[in-house]
Amino acid sequence: MVKVEKLGVFIDSVIAFFKQINAQLTDIDTPYLQNNSTAICFDYSAVIRITGPLQGSVYVSASTNMLRSILAVMGESDTSLAILKDLLGEIANTVSGNSRTEFGPDFIISPPIVVEGAPGYAYLPKDKRTYLIPFQRQGYKAVIGICVW
């Protein structure tokens, strides 16, 4: 399992994403461990599989309203489901890709897969636990999940 001290890179990455689009996060809560039998998620989740010396997945889950609010900041008027999923995949890819600065080039990430609701047990095995990092923007909630061993 990833050590809690290494979670800062995921927090820094999500902050950097929002700064890049000139949007401000209103809150990032304290990371905590969650059993995978009850995954925490919102409307959609973008999941990235991790391979190499470390195995597992990283996901970002957000509500439709949060995604629409981000698109508005970006000046995007198209809020179709395809665009919402693209945006969420881009956030997950940015967060996971930036984490390679902490874990090194052997931290191999797959392209994101976007699913409705929670990632399945193929990504979040029941016998593992996930670090969750809740964050908010304008009252809309989202979460980063890190299930890496």
- Residue 6 clears pLDDT 90, i.e. is over it: no
Q: Global pTM?
A: 0.93
- Tell me how many domains the chain contains: 1
Which residues is 136 bridged to in the sheet? 27, 141
Sequence-ordered strand ranges (E) for the chain? 27-28, 32-35, 44-51, 56-62, 108-109, 113-116, 129-137, 140-148
> Could you read off the pLDDT of 68-101 as tens digits, one per residue?
999 999 999 999 999 999 999 999 999 999 998 8
Q: What is the CATH number of the domain that holds 110?
A: 3.40.1550.10
pLDDT in tens, 8-65: 999 999 999 999 999 889 899 999 999 999 889 999 999 999 999 999 999 999 999 9
* 32: containing domain: 4-148
| Helix, strand, coil percentages in the chain from 3-state DSSP, rounded to 5 | 35, 30, 35
